[in-house]
Structure 1
């Protein structure tokens, strides 16, 4: 049986970061790509993503022209900005859903994995 594209990407992440769980591998990927943003520290898939800044910073890291880095300093604007950027990347996350995301780590992981697929793989 052939592995799905997502399964292959998960395997690649697990191997690259030498992790035994998807949670740890995806978090390691996010941390690596957010390292240049000292005010954005992610250690979980709930509260650290709730204001939208980590999402916007990840997008800025890969597509600097899409995000004004000074807007990353304004958490109140980042939630709306994250939704707008997701739409530009052809991801379907509305603002109401986005605001609810951080209450469930699985939802946040799903969106971060979609960002990984759109920004850091050949599936772009």
Structure 2
């Protein structure tokens, strides 16, 4: 199964997104979080992201959803620190995580299909 990682500058935000996406994935999605900096404040940490990626991986790869710019930078650094096949989805973190969680539970899910599903969320409109 494709694993998911939610990276946020806030540990509470990452955990909340994981909880919502996990419910949408029927409780079957493999979702890890990396939120906050090493001191428990606002920020991101490449080592924590690396650990989350490795925990989410069962050999099929991992899709990472990020909130803000430095989360991208630290995720890319984490990729350099692990051999896990992983990719950042260019998607809004909450909506993308929901889509990815649902797709990741499909028996036909691939790394590409989960990334694509997450990225479909970029086009969601909240109003007409």
TM-score > 0.5, shorter chain as reference: no
Higher strand fraction: Structure 1 or Structure 2? 2
Higher relative contact order (CA 8 A, sep 6+): 2
TM-score when normalising by structure 2: 0.32
TM-score when normalising by structure 1: 0.33
Higher helix fraction: Structure 1 or Structure 2? 1
- Higher CA-based Rg: 1
